[in-house]
A and B are shown apart, each in its own frame.
Chain A
Amino acid sequence: MPITLTERAATHVTNFLAKRGKGVGLRLGVRTTGCSGLAYKLEYADALNPEDLTFDSHGVKVVVDPKSLPYIDGTELDFAREGLNEGFKFNNPNVKDECGCGESFNV
């Protein structure tokens, strides 16, 4: 299953990359930390590692390391506004439960 961005998320990522002036794409991943076991990683990708998997979504190169993929396989990254706050949201079909804030999760 590919990792995808919504069109809205892709537009924002493209803008941020352009303003930042460097970077080949967006890296998604997980780390084993956080109150529910796993935490999302969302970073700019400046370089690709040989083992990285890449997906293309609305013109944005999405980079995932193979160890993270099982946890976020099929995830759709969205960009949302909640009041004045705005940012990215993982719609991850693998999640069984997550902590109240949604910053860490369990599969």
Chain B
Amino acid sequence: MALLQISEPGESTAPHQHRLAVGIDLGTTNSLVATVRNGVAGVLNDEQGHPLLPSIVRYGADGSVETGYEAERERSHDPKNTIVSVKRFMGRGLRDIAYIENSPYDFVDTPGMVQIRTAAGVKSPVEVSAELLRVMRVRAEKSLGGELVGAVVTVPAYFDDAQRQATKDAASIAGLNVMRLLNEPTAAAIAYGLDNASEGVYAVYDLGGGTFDFSILRLSTGVFEVLATSGDAALGGDDFDHRLFCWVLEQEKLPPLSVSDTSLLLAKARQVKEYLTNHSEVRFNAKLSTGTVVDVPVSQSDFWEMTRHLVVKTLVPTRKALRDAGLLFSDVKGVVMVGGATRMPHVQRAVEGCFGQPPLNNLDPDKVVALGAAMQANALAGNKSVDEDWLLLDVIPLSLGLETMGGLVERVIHRNSTIPVSKAQEFTTFKDGQTAMSIHVVQGERELVSDCRSLARFELRGIPPMVAGAARIRVTFQVDADGLLAVSAKETTSGAEASVAVKPSYGLSDERITNMLKDSFEHAGDDLRIRALREQQVEAERMLESVGAALGQDEALLEAAELAAIRTALNGLKTLSRQSDHRAIKHAIDELNRLTEPFAARRMDRSVQQALTGKSLASL
């Protein structure tokens, strides 16, 4: 007999009509699956009662696959085939991965995404993640007694297109229908916002196993709006383990360790770190394969001291996001703590010191993201009554735009715009009779295309020949709720159309996003000058071309002195436009304009005369 769940009043589902949906937190260190049952969001445990699945996959030579705790047990014996923190490799090339020299894996540098050679063959991070998601799906189906209609999978706010796409692909391989990719901090806000019904500006401080995300959100009457995001893609609880591990090496003056001993000590470091959350002292002891016995006392204050720089490192993006949102620490009504690493007392204390208030931590920081995702999944699956409907808004991390003449960037969608979003802008042709236009989509905050990241290129053909500036080309940028971009261009008079869906095979690393943002602030002054110069250069080129064309046709209309003056001005402008003084170019353009004014007037008069000659007044 089926086991029934309690529904909201009037929402009882018909038999066999249950819309089972789950939220999955695919974490760097641990993964979780949660659902809303009996109106309450809860994490689903495995057969042994564990809520977490360590995000670890081990491949055996016989093709067997072990995941979670099973794989973790073998980690120190078989580190090369036991993949931990695979999320760091999602959608990344070999060069993007931090601390790669400390990873025991046999990486294969394939174009697009790095792959890992294991006993069971070469595996991509997408396949490894899919193994974890499959375990989550099976657990959910066993727990809910039926097939899932869909899942909401969370990703760090800073994940770019390639990383989001990789996550989506992994879910499809695992047999999940992804209803929505949701930013982790947004999911945490859902869990807190809905459960506690709070309104105002909130910050989400998410220090997970391998990533740090900081987001500013505004919650008002059931609407979640992400005002700003920032973070550090290579900072997390793992780094605290690693620091402790290095400290032990220094204390014990250990020689370079074998791969399996390194794994052993790292696992031990994690245990010690967790123990020090609630205890003031512990002994770090382990027996290495060489027979050496490691035994060092570690106090809470030792640990805090050696990792203080890591805590300080989280406060840099924190300040930046606040600055981006135009807010002060005092504007923030509450700080939501997410991620197991926020359990560390010195992290809590640093956040409290910064914001001048104790952070919110009444929900389990390991589960909060999964719980929020489950609520979102429940709403998307249609299990939520209409009056409780809520809207979810996210933002894009970097501006999107296209290349214009002179290698300049015209931004169409600005950074931190809420998604889904669609914006259109009109562009025109630069040359007479131009019938095609190359559209180059770029991402970034800098003024020059060469300093931004190229996302896609496509051509719009079939523009009817017209004089420069007459064609009307409408370029539409559309970013869907998952943060994926599509660009289309349409020439409005002829209806010629072209479009591209931006699915980069190879994503932008989060460090690069951060660096690009930093660069844009540091180079703001240079960029301004370069933009001014390029604009004048483009204008000069346009001027030289049109005056040149006019002279070619109607030189006869000018007297010798006039012609000489114009030619001198033309040559002067030509020389100046190759130099870098935008004011001088502007001056020369104005001068040429002034000189050619009578010439233009005469050309105009003559064409009017030609049009009128030989026609009677009546025929006009």
Contact = CB atoms under 8 A, between A and B. Distances in A.
Interface string A79-107: 01011111111100000001101111000
A6 to B, nearest CB: 14
A84 B44 CA distance: 8
Q: Give the interface centre of B15, B46, B145 by most chain A CB atoms within 10 Å.
A: B15
A102 B1 contact: yes
Contacts of B5: 42, 87-88
A11 interface: no
B571 interface: no
Interface string B141-156: 0111100000000000
Contacts of A39: 12, 14-15
Given A20-B39, A88-B6, A43 B11 contact: yes
B1 A27 contact: no
B328 interface: no
B197 to A, nearest CB: 9
Contacts of A16: 6, 38-40
A43 B38 CA distance: 9
Contact of A31 (B12, B40, B47): B12
A13 interface: yes
Interface residues of B, number: 28
Contact of B142 (A33, A80, A85, A89): A85
A84 B45 CA distance: 8
Nearest to B45: A84
A26 interface: yes
A40 interface: yes
A44 B4 contact: no
B6 A101 contact: no
Contacts of B38: 12, 16
- Interface hub of A16, A84, A104 (most chain B Cβ within 10 A): A84
B9 A87 contact: no
A46 interface: yes
Interface in B36-64: 37-40, 44-47
B40 A43 contact: no
The dominant DSSP class at the B interface is loop
A59 interface: no
Nearest to B14: A33
Interface string A37-68: 00111111111000000000000000000000
Most buried by A among B38, B44, B144: B38
A84 B16 contact: no
A13 B6 contact: yes
Interface string A1-34: 0000000000011001001100000110001011
Contacts of A42: 4-7, 12
Contacts of A27: 9
Nearest to B16: A103
Nearest to A81: B3
B2 interface: yes
B14 A88 contact: no
Contacts of B11: 43
B8 interface: yes
Contacts of B10: 43
A84 B47 contact: yes
A45 B39 CA distance: 12
Nearest to B10: A43
Most A Cβ at <10 Å: residue of B4, B44, B47: B4
Contact of B9 (A31, A44, A82, A101): A44
Nearest to A27: B9
B428 to A, nearest CB: 58
Contacts of A31: 12, 14
B2 A101 contact: yes
B139 interface: yes
B248 to A, nearest CB: 40
Interface in B100-157: 139, 142-145
Interface in B1-36: 1-12, 14-16
A5 to B, nearest CB: 12
A76 B108 CA distance: 61
A101 B16 contact: yes
Nearest to B138: A84
Contacts of B143: 84-86
A89 B38 CA distance: 14
Contact of A34 (B15, B45, B46): B15
A43 B15 contact: no
Contact of B7 (A44, A89, A98): A44
Interface in B164-187: none
B151 to A, nearest CB: 17
Nearest to B47: A84
A98 B12 contact: no
Contacts of B4: 40, 42, 87-90, 103
A26 B142 contact: no
Contact of A44 (B6, B45, B144): B6
A105 to B, nearest CB: 10
Contact of A85 (B6, B12, B145): B145
Contact of B6 (A26, A33, A98, A104): A26
A85 B20 CA distance: 13
A104 B15 contact: yes
Given A16-B39, A33-B15, A104-B15, A87 B139 contact: no
Nearest to B46: A84
Contact of B3 (A20, A35, A80, A98): A80
Cβ-closest 4 pairs across A and B = A87-B3, A102-B1, A103-B15, A34-B15
23 contacts: A12-B38, A16-B6, A16-B39, A16-B40, A33-B15, A35-B15, A39-B12, A42-B4, A44-B7, A44-B9, A45-B9, A46-B9, A82-B3, A84-B142, A84-B143, A85-B142, A85-B145, A88-B3, A88-B4, A89-B1, A89-B4, A98-B1, A101-B2
Interface of B: 1-12, 14-16, 37-40, 44-47, 139, 142-145
